[in-house]
Structure 1
Amino acid sequence: MVKIVGIGGSLRPESYSQQALTLTAQRLEALGAEVEIFDLRTMNLPFCNGESDYPDYPDLERLREAVKNAHGLILATPEYHGSVSGVLKNALDLMSFEHLSNKVTGLMSVLGGQSNNNALNDLRIIMRWVHAWVIPEQIAIGQAWKAFGADGKLLDEKLSERFDQFAQSLVESTRKLQGINHG
């Protein structure tokens, strides 16, 4: 079974990144994947200081262990000042090649203005640096405040179809790159 860990890189109470991540997780589970979501709003993580051990932070150990044991990742970030959120970058900085190498990774970004790929391109570089495999499909949701209904569902059918394609690609790519059978 494909095991995916999702990390939401926003601290906002009504996080669109987290909503996008939740919707993607539902689609992945419908395709037979096992998904565990980490919500950085609820975790106590240190600022990365270049050390490898942070014994006073059990949430970090949980995150590291889950990522290490996963076949793939979904990283969802708001775009702040043209790049990835600091909280997601910090979470990634707290992990090493041991945790992130060879993970098949899907990237998502949300922003208040027009859709662009700045945060996604930066995440692609970060994940390539740690030897992860980033799938070509990605999701950038511009004007996120218009994308979701009160129930958290996507309002645009074409965007919803892109979520389906993204989930399908992540599962298929993970199976191929990790040598996982369909069973």
Structure 2
Amino acid sequence: MNDMILPPLSNLGVQPAPARQARVLLISGSITKNSRTHCLVDSVAEALHGLAAQCSVWHLAHRPMPLATCENGMAGQSEEQRAVAQEFRAAVSAAEAIVLATPVYHGSYSGTLKNALDHLGKGAFAGKVVGLLSHGSKAMTCGQPIEHLRPVAANLQAHVLSTQLSTCDADFLHRSDERTTIESGELTDRIRRLASELIHLCQALELAAYLQVPTLDRKQPAQDAQVYSHTKGFTS
């Protein structure tokens, strides 16, 4: 996808709204601390910071969600658990864009991430931009969670990015000091591309809202979306 170029608002006969930072919430669905999934999320957050986005990261390994036991996810929970769930929903509500990241668990995304999403109400992602990330040990299967997360995000009425990232172990270097870093220069370029696309789409939706231009109905999953895997390229 080419970079989106928006015309100056002055050319459209309107005054521009005040510039502000895009608010992005990144959610890591890995239960392993210092995991490659966490490294991927932190790298995307760093790229977004470089584009002046206001980012917050919710690592579910560090801040786990209570079990969602009913439709509103509140029954049988302690006050502390209720507070965590309410804070999570508030963070999602305040964000203009969401990045969902998960390791491959049994051929799909993690139950930890699914449980967190089960705390959200219908249309929780309405009007929001959503990017999808996944990591697996093998290149052949590392993109499987994205195939399953895309219709979930669309069902929550998100605008899902066409550029997605799926990584495998070969893309990372596990250092002797227990730190994990990205080894692939091509992956770094893809991270920058995803971050740029996310910011541009946020700007486009903000402009559409400012001009009161109707946007696409996102209740149904897009049929022509593409997923990018560093090792496999684009797949439908």
Q: Which of 106, 110, 130 lines up with 1:81 in the alignment?
A: 106
Number of residue-to-residue matches in the alignment: 180
Match of 2:43, SS state, is helix
For 1:153 and 1:44, the matched residues in 2 are separated by: 24
C-alpha displacement of 1:115: 4.3
C-alpha displacement of 1:98: 5.1
For 2:199 and 2:140, the matched residues in 1 are separated by: 25
For 2:201 and 2:84, the matched residues in 1 are separated by: 29
Larger Rg over CA atoms: 2
Residues 43-122 of structure 1 aligned to structure 2 (within 5 Å):
43-52=63-72, 54=74, 56=79, 57=81, 58-97=83-122, 99-116=124-141, 117-122=143-148
Query: Which segments of 5 or more consecutive residues in structure 2 lack a partner in the other structure?
Result: 1-20, 211-236
Indicate conservation of the 8 Å contact 1:115/1:141, yes or no. Answer: no
Q: What is aligned with 1:29?
A: 49
C-alpha displacement of 1:148: 3.3
Whose helix proportion is higher, 1 or 2? 1
Query: Which segments of 5 or more consecutive residues in structure 1 lack a partner in the other structure?
Result: none
Percent sequence identity over aligned pairs: 26
AA paired with 1:124? R
For 2:149 and 2:135, the matched residues in 1 are separated by: 13
Question: What is the RMSD of the two structures over their aligned residues, measured on CA atoms?
Answer: 1.9
Indicate conservation of the 8 Å contact 1:71/1:178, yes or no. Answer: no
Q: 1 or 2 for the larger relative contact order (CA 8 Å, sep ≥6)?
A: 1
Query: Deviation per CA, 1:54-110, whole angstroms, max 9, x where unpaired?
Result: 263211111110110110001110011111110001101111135322220010000
1:53/1:155 CA distance change after superposition, 3 Å:
closer
Structure 2 residue 43 is the aligned partner of structure 1 residue 18: no
For 1:92 and 1:76, the matched residues in 2 are separated by: 12
TM-score (norm 1): 0.90
Q: What is aligned with 1:138?
A: 164
TM-score (norm 2): 0.71
